[in-house]
Homo-oligomer: A and B are copies of this chain.
């Protein structure tokens, strides 16, 4: 499989799942600013994904998947089911994982992070409004995670991979996190997972490579 990613973009969640699952995936580094893919010809990403976004996954059979919710479910389903990255099809837990994937995707990623980090140069007022919408979903998450280790059941799932990424970025996006101690605990706990540590360390290093990166700086 080929996975188009960009350092510290939401494709980090897909990298975490690939490492957790031990999947053999070729990671193709993409500059979201100019859509260039390292070692690939011009337009390599856009031929697969008209949004020019990551993660974009080209499966071994040529099937292309975009949108983190779908990509993460697909990758989790490729793993040994004993790992529990995705619950079995049709179970209440499966729908629960889809629910939290969608929650992170819509309420936190798109409404907040995608606007603050937009390459379309939103004004400060637009960014401030986006940040202001974070309080409600973060309050819901804080309540949900106050007495849970993970979002669904007892195992780290693909939904946790996505939320970990979002929680890493929120403080950098200047969203105050002091009111959500359960989220801080959750992030600290899950950041200690070997797959999360490896993925974050790798992408933070890449992110800091001078000269390569044209997109808006994360830090």
Contact = CB atoms under 8 A, between A and B. Distances in A.
Interface string A32-54: 00000000000000000011000
A111 B66 CA distance: 17
Contact of A140 (B50, B65, B99, B143): B50
Copies in the complex: 2
What bracket does the count of chain A residues touching chain B fall in? 35 or more
A74 interface: yes
Interface stretch (A101-109, A177-185, A201-209): A101-109
A54 B90 CA distance: 22
A105 B108 CA distance: 12
A2 interface: no
Contact of A89 (B89, B101, B118): B89
Contacts of A120: 129, 132-133
Nearest to A136: B51
Given A70-B98, A74-B95, A95-B70, A105 B106 contact: yes
Q: By DSSP majority rule, is chain A's interface helix, strand, loop, or mixed? A: helix
Contacts of A195: none
Nearest to A111: B110
A123 B114 contact: no
Given A50-B139, A70-B99, A105-B106, 12 more contacts: A50-B143, A61-B92, A65-B96, A65-B99, A67-B103, A69-B69, A69-B99, A70-B98, A74-B95, A77-B90, A106-B109, A120-B132
24 contacts: A51-B140, A61-B92, A63-B95, A66-B103, A67-B98, A67-B99, A67-B102, A67-B103, A67-B106, A68-B102, A69-B105, A70-B96, A70-B98, A70-B102, A73-B95, A73-B98, A89-B90, A110-B110, A111-B114, A118-B133, A120-B132, A123-B125, A125-B125, A126-B126
